[in-house]
Structure 1
């Protein structure tokens, strides 16, 4: 499948900013499941390109002159392939054990520990058990925009019973870590099909030991299904903080307003 993607983010401020720095994961990964055919970033300020510790294409953008608006546009075409049964081929050298370390966002409270014990037991996991976990999370945490924020933890979202794809991913990762199973956060895009919804998305990779396969399986917890060729992977990390498309800090600016437009056209 070919996915034509355009992602525009506009920040506007009620007062001038003196300084802005943004870390960007807005360029798709070059993985066996996908190939970047064309990609362009339109960014203000000074930009430094690099590859981070998880082999994600990354950029650091800084603006040291006064400004009241930031416009960031990522656009291009990505060719994706169907991963068989969600199984992800990788060329990375990192041990999966790197993704067993809890973070602030994925620490397991009592509710997470209870959910993990009821669904997973102890490592190793199978694909079927991880899908069962995603179904339990989806049943217990209703999708609700605005119910949580980027700083909400897995435990907070599970207690609330509401959240978004980021929260579903964090709860899944926290449960896997509690059971000693490697799991990691994935940021990217999804073909909205005929739903009319198009936005950045988040899902997970979990480490499985099936009868015929040992390795990563990619699962969309929000839809309780395996990843298909309708997904474009931007970045992987231990949690949202490590794989977010845009993260930054600023000096000044008063109140911040953000507008995001994402268009995805499959071919």
Structure 2
């Protein structure tokens, strides 16, 4: 499949800002199942490109002149193929064990431990166990846009019973980490199909030990299904904080307004 993507993030402020710094994960990863045909990143200010510790193609954008608005546009086309049974190669040379460490957003609580125990063995899991967990999370936390924020923890989303894709991903990670199973956060895009609604998306990679395969499989917890060729992967990390498409801090600016427009066209 070929996906043509345009992602615009626009900030406006009631007062001038003196300084802005943004970490950007807005360039697709170089992976066997996706090939970048063309890609561009348009930002104001000074931009420094680098590869982070997880192998993500990243940019650091800074603005030190007064400004009242900020617009970041990432766009291009990628060619994707569907990974066999959701299996994605471990080509990043990182030990999967670094993805067993809980974070502030994925810390286990009694409710999470109970959910994890209903599906997962300790230490190792098969694909069927992980899909069972995704289905349980899908039933326990109803998708509801605006119900949570990027700072919402996995335990808070579980208690609320509502959330969005990053909440589903964090809850899945928390359950896996509680049982010593490597799992990592994935940020990117998904072809919305006939829903007509495109947006940034979040899902997970989890380490399986099946009879014929040991390695990562990629699971869209929000839809309780394996990743297909309808997905574009931007970044991986321990949680949202490490893989967010746009994340930063500012000095000044008064009240902030944010608008995001994502367009994805499959071919």
Structure 1 residue aligned with 2:48: 48
- Per-residue Cα deviation, 1:192-249 (whole angstroms, up to 9, x for no partner): 0101110000000000001111000000000000000000000000000000000000
Are 2:96 and 1:96 equivalent residues in the alignment?
A: yes
Structure 1 unmatched runs, 5+: none
Separation in structure 1 between the aligned mates of residue 114 and residue 178 of structure 2, nearest angstrom: 10
Shift of 1:146: 1.0
Structure 1 residue aligned with 2:224: 224
Separation in structure 2 between the aligned mates of residue 90 and residue 101 of structure 1, nearest angstrom: 18
Separation in structure 2 between the aligned mates of residue 243 and residue 115 of structure 1, nearest angstrom: 25
Structure 1 residue aligned with 2:72: 72
Shift of 1:118: 1.1
Please show how residues 23-172 of structure 1 align to structure 2 within 5 Å: 23-172=23-172
- Whether the 8 Å CA contact 1:31–1:90 is kept in 2: the answer is no
Shift of 1:123: 2.1
Structure 2 residue aligned with 1:263: 263
- Give the structure-1-normalised TM-score: 0.99
Q: Between Structure 1 and Structure 2, how many residues are aligned?
A: 267
- Whether the 8 Å CA contact 2:145–2:164 is kept in 1: the answer is yes
Structure 1 residue aligned with 2:204: 204
Separation in structure 2 between the aligned mates of residue 115 and residue 179 of structure 1, nearest angstrom: 11
4+ runs of 1 displaced by more than 3 Å?
none
Structure 2 unmatched runs, 5+: none
Shift of 1:36: 0.6
SS in 2 for 1:119: coil
SS in 1 for 2:55: coil
SS in 1 for 2:195: coil
Shift of 1:72: 0.2
- Per-residue Cα deviation, 1:118-171 (whole angstroms, up to 9, x for no partner): 110212101111011000001000001111111110001001100000000000
- What do you get for the CA RMSD once the two structures are aligned? 0.5
Shift of 1:90: 3.1
SS in 1 for 2:121: coil
Shift of 1:188: 0.1
